[in-house]
Amino acid sequence: MSSRSSNFLLKSLTLPNGDISDIEISDGVITATGKSLTSKDQSTELDFAGRIVLPGLVDLHTHLREPGKEDAETVLSGSRAAAKGGFVAISAMANTSPVADTAGVVEQVFALGQSAGFVDVFPIGAVTQGLVGETLSEIGAMADSRARVRIFSDDGNCVHDPLVMRRALEYVKQFDGVIAQHAQDPRLTIGSQMNEGEISSKLGLKGWPAVAEEAIIARDVLLADHVKSRLHICHLTTAGGVEIIRWAKARGINVTAEVTPHHLLLSDEYAQSYDPIFKVNPPLRTQRDIEALREGLADGTIDIVATDHAPHPAEAKECEWQEAAFGMLGLETALAIVNQTMVQTGLMNWEAVAERMSIAPARIGKYSQHGLPIEVGSVANLTIIDPLAKYRVDRDLVSSRSRNTPFHAMELQGVIQATFFRGLPTLLNGELISINSYDDN
């Protein structure tokens, strides 16, 4: 069928529940699981003793920059970075140039993802035209397009007008879509540069108060409850925000929330270096906030981990803090950071990681071929990690087109051993392989 094997026997893997199992893959599907399976003719046998296997990772918050900002990232380079990080599906945010507020743009991004052949790329449509928060975008046309958009977000900007937000929630309810809100009151954050607190005062940088995030979250969960529609809160960062989400869920409001790896690990203490690599939107918060986010992720108040992978060209970061762009890379280091902050600390087990980084993101995004149980008949989208191996992050070795990782020179625990997308390895032994390189010869 192929010039490379499309049948694999993965030996001695540790499943999320701790059981040891072999996994047989044939023609893109899991065809057998169990101990002591034997290879069939023309199967490639791979030994993964001591490695954890997860349903392939799914990211609901990725900036791929194409079209229009290809100097920072392309769909191809971002897809390669995703596969290297263990992802099999990513969700491309709408703040491109032109903005993904029409069916034509989302279909372009979708087609570019298919051409890349490393992951499924699902475009996210803009809520409003041009991301300016005034007039709804072509939501229905994007939902009906070949890309079948189900997530809509003005990420990078907040849908600040409550009437526009209400109308958006009402519109997506027709097809069970979801509005993913960037919670940031624009009036409370004019000129803000970092978290408002002792460190911002010490550094003389304009502070970004927690209430600017929490006020929008509170407003929007009430709107979602009123409309009876789905709301998703992007990149939650504050302890107060966690409590609002917890309260909303206790009332049965249909809200989900995400946290980024960098907000699980880094605090505003890093801003004292004045290095813009640590400038991000929303900003790094306090250690107290980090502990609340970890607790919220562990107990399920926060539904998923999403990377908010935000590549920038060098000149956008190698400048004074006030002039630098907000954002940092996240795809290639996400699972290692979750392993280090949540698993190795005893806050979560691997079943919870599978839920937060694969099953729940796929459910929220309506990605039917992803987040499936590791069992016979499921599409073979798999992520394999050595949870004990450590490595040092090197910005010059990332697969992204950009280099703005805040984790450069840090030692992280957890090395991705392999990524299988539709039954074929896109990452194996450190080598990235597009599934489009598998031909029919």
Catalytic residues: 308
SS3 state at 188:
helix
SS3 state at 83:
helix
Nearest to 168 by CA among 156, 153, 155: 153
Question: What burial letters (b/e) apply to 110-119, b meaning 16+ CB within 10 Å?
Answer: bebbeebbbb
Sheet holding 120-123, edge to edge: 57-62, 87-92, 120-123
- Separation of first and last alpha carbons in the chain: 7
Structure tokens at 437: 């390189």
Phi and psi torsions of 305, nearest 5°: -100, 130
Structure tokens at 344: 């190795």
Handedness of CA 155, 156, 159, 160 (dihedral sign): positive
Q: What is the rounded distance in angstroms from the CA atom of residue 221 to the CA atom of residue 431?
A: 44
Nearest to 285 by CA among 266, 259, 308: 266
